[in-house]
Every structure is written in C-alpha cells, then in structure tokens.
Structure 1
Amino acid sequence: MPWNYRGIGWFVVFTVIVLSSLLLVKPYLPRESGGTASGEEIALPKPRFKGEMIVEEAILRRRSMRDYLPEPLKLEELSQLLWAAQGITSPDGKRAAPSAGATYPFEVFVVAGNVEGLEPGIYKYNPQRHSLMFIKRGDYRDDLERAALDQDWVGNAAVDIVLVAFYGRATEVYGERGVRYVHMEAGHIGENIYLQATALGLGTVAVGAFDDERVSEILGTEGRPLYIFPVGRV
C-alpha cells in the first residue's frame, strides 16, 4: 500500500502541537503527593489581606527569635502564616512566593503541638483549598527537636512549619539549573514566613541544621526538607 505522506505530515504536526501544549501547562498540573494523607481535611480560616502592620515596619522589626512563651497559637494565625508561605494570590493559581516557571517545588508541612482548635499532629498544607491535610496524630515536636540536633526552640515552639522540596518539579523544566531555583524559592518562602510572623506579633527562626532523612521519616515524605520554622508567641 502506498504511503499517504500528506496524512503522515498532518499527524506529525498534530503530535508536536499536543506535546508542546503539555510542556507549557505542565507547571500548573497537579503535583505528586508530598506525603500520605489520611483523607481527613481541615478547613482553615480565611486569610486576611490587610493587617495592622505595614510591610516597612515588619521589615524593620524582623528578627530571629528562639524563645517562646508556653501559650497556644490561634488557628487564624497559623492560617495566615501558611497563606503567606504558599497561599493562592491570583485567579490563575499564582502563589504568595515567586516560583521559577510556576513549578512550585515545595510542600509545606506543619508539626502542630499547641494550636487552639487543632489536634496535635502532622499536617500538609493544601494551597488550592487553603486547608490542612491530616497525615498522622500525635505531638512530634520533641522528635523533630532531636532530629534538629537538639535545638530546643524546635520543641518549644507551638508549631513547626517545614518546607520540603521536590527538586524534580524544577529540574524537569530547567535541568540542573532548577536546583538553584529551588534554593532561591526557599528563601522567598522563608522571608514571607518571617515577615508574616512579625506582623502577627509572633516569633520565628530559620533552622537549617537537622538530619534530613530523620525529618523526612517523621513527616512521612519522600521530599527533601530544607527549612524548619518554629513559631511561637513571644
């Protein structure tokens, strides 16, 4: 049977168009799961878009704080911190912190121990629904403290926010350069947490010294933890 070159040509053109479209939308497609959730979902209070402290004052007052009062955080405060870290800020799904190519390589985990209205446990933040996905019950702050080389502010904080990176989301698009972009993004998210905590009258500190594998094991994730942010009342 003779080849239909015209038909083959149109097929090739169609295939190229489809593949190109997939590459363009890939950063916006659902990501692989950062942890095994139990299926329980906790809706968070809606974040506020105006506060009592202007950004210039938050920048002026921002400090690393390691001493926290043994008082609980409000669920509204945790909600605001998570929104500042990775909350959705536009109709097309853009988030509070910039991300190269909108690849969003981070999952935000919460190790909660002393938050009003929230059972102690490990949770994962869902930016699209502004909710917490329940991972496992129990107060794991002491375990996280030991994994963080016995830095007691990790265990004394009301809650620990852990930034977990999935490098493949960035390297699939940018190759090895994507590793650098992931590290840049960690800084963007971290500063947002710092400034939001300051604006709320809370204290936090960026913790980078810990046993990566042990922290991943505690969280139940295959990602690479890059930052722990203990947060407490000061």
Structure 2
Amino acid sequence: MKKSFTCFMIICLIFFCTDLYGESIIDLPNPRYKGNITLEETLKERRSVREFSNQPLTLEEISQLLWATQGIKDESGKRTVPSAGALYPLEIYLLSGNVKNLPAGIYKYNPFKHHIMKIKEGDKREELSNVALGQPWVKNASVNFIIVAVYERTTRKYGDRGIRYVHIEVGHAAQNLLLQATALRLGAVPVGAFNDNEVKKVIGLRDNEQPLYIIPVGKRK
C-alpha cells in the first residue's frame, strides 16, 4: 500500500511539473543562416537607434536575435561568440513588451534548446527604464535584451584575469546582437548606464548573475 501511494505521488508530481514547465517554455522558430544583406553592408549600416515605432516584433526576429547573441552553431556546442576556455559565462534575459504572439514578461534564453522560459509576467519596460536612469528608449523599445555574467564560470579557471575575459566576451555578444538587428532592419542601442542592484531586482537575477548590458530593440520609425 505504501509503495503504491509513493508511485502515485511520483506520477502526480511528474504530471504537475510537466504541465507547469510546459506553460512557461516557449519554443522559438529555427534561426536562419543566410540573410538578405552582406556583412559589409551590415557594418556600414549599423548605428545606435533610440527611437522606435509601435509596430511589434515577431518571434522569428526574437529567435534570430537570441541565436546571434548566444546561439549554438553546431553539434559541438560552440556558440556564435568566442569565449575564453569555451566556458560561456553569459546569460541572456529578454524583457518583452511588444512582440506578436508573446505575452509581455521577462524570459530567459536557453541556447541548448533554443527556447525561452518565462521568469516574470507583465510589462516591465517602464520599471527597467526607471532603474536605467530614466532613459526613454528602454521604455519605448519593443524588447530589451539584458546580458548578464556569471563570473565564476571563467574566474575559477583564469583567476582575476577571467574578469577581463568576461568583459571582452560581452562585447562580442553585444556586437553580434547589434549587427543582427541591423541586418533585420531593426533599431538597437547598447545601454551601460543603470543601477546594477535595481536591475537585478527588476529582472529577478540570481545573486551570482551580474548585469553588464541592456540593449533595447524595436522597429525603426
């Protein structure tokens, strides 16, 4: 009897967790590996854009931007940006407010599964803008990408030198995101002025996750 009850409880727990997990996971469309403009054209056209239209982004665009920033390239598990020791200390959070077929909220990107997991519900763009010194493009963008670092992944191998490697890597990731946005004819701007601890509260970051960049993205006016 006790064994049967235990099995029943395990089955219920699996069902509950699967249902909960399924509701919070959003699979993204497959990324494209061939664009409409050349790399040289993208480099020439890239510029900081701080004014956005009200037209929503699409899940296809979100998928492409996330893949460009931290996506997996092939079966080896290597990503789209170089990383010291292939330790990959960066995590990407998406603060969504104006994306077609994606409820407003905060999501975390899983590059291995190429999906996003909901962390918080609701439009948090104004809250993020407030802790980013009131910069209006943070509030007005369709989405904000928050690039955070888990320094210990790199410093446990390279010591204090690993901090520099992480900062180099976030530059690689940000540039990939900005160039991909340009290639998609979207506007984007890198933001480094914000209150770190307050951003952590808005996003719901863990203690060992440190925000390094906020990058607002939206349709150009």
* Distance in structure 1 (CA, Å) of the matches to 2:121 and 2:156: 34
User: Aligned residue for 1:177?
Assistant: 161
The partner residue of 1:57 within 41, 47, 51 is: 41
Residues in 2 aligned to 1:149 and 1:103: alpha-carbon distance in whole angstroms: 32
* Cα distance in structure 2, aligned partners of 1:140 and 1:173: 36
Match of 1:99 among 83, 87, 90: 83
* Deviation (angstroms), 1:92: 1.1
Offset from partner CA, 1:39-97 (integer Å, 9 cap, x none): 32100000000010111100010001100001100110010000000000021100011
Does residue 233 (structure 1) correspond to residue 214 (structure 2)? The answer is no
Question: How far 1:185 moved relative to its partner?
Answer: 0.3
Task: Find the structure with the greater CA-based Rg.
Answer: 1
Quick one: which amino acid aligns to residue 172 of structure 2?
H
SS in 2 for 1:81: helix
Secondary structure in 2 aligned to 1:187?
helix
Counterpart residue number, 2:71:
87
After TM superposition, what 4+ stretches of structure 1 lie above 6 angstroms from structure 2?
A: none
Determine if the alignment matches structure 1 residue 138 to structure 2 residue 122. yes
CA–CA distance in 2 between the matches of 1:182 and 1:90?
Answer: 23
Given the alignment, which residue of 54, 59, 64 partners 1:75? 59
What is the Cα deviation at residue 136 of structure 1?
A: 1.0
Amino acid in structure 2 at the alignment position of 1:192:
N
Separation in structure 1 between the aligned mates of residue 133 and residue 103 of structure 2, nearest angstrom: 26
Deviation at 1:150, TM superposition (A): 0.2
Distance 1:54 1:128 in 2: 27
Confirm whether residue 206 of structure 1 aligns to residue 200 of structure 2: no
The letter of the residue matching 2:191 is: V
Structure 2 counterpart of 1:71, one-letter code: Q
Deviation (angstroms), 1:138? 0.4
Unmatched tracts of structure 1, length 5 or more = 1-37
Letter in 1 for 2:152: G
Aligned residue pairs: how many? 197
Give me the TM-score of the superposition, normalised by structure 1: 0.83
**What amino acid sits opposite 1:191 in the alignment?**
Q
> Alignment identity in percent?
53
Tell me which residue corresponds to 2:12: none
Paired letter, 1:188: H
Q: In structure 2, what is the Cα distance between the partners aligned to 1:76 and 1:230?
A: 17
In 2, distance between residues paired with 1:74 and 1:56?
25
- Cα RMSD over matched residues? 0.7
CA distance in 1, matches of 2:54, 2:133: 21
Are residues 1:45 and 2:29 paired? Answer: yes
State the SS of the aligned residue for 1:203.
Answer: strand
Q: Secondary structure at the match of 1:207?
A: coil
- Equivalent-residue separation in structure 1 for 2:74 and 2:89 (angstroms): 18
Distance 2:214 2:65 in 1: 13
Which residue of the other structure, out of 207, 210, 213, is the alignment partner of 1:224? 210
Task: Provide the rounded CA distance (Å) in 2 between the counterparts of 1:173 and 1:89.
Answer: 24
Partner residue in 1 for 2:7: none
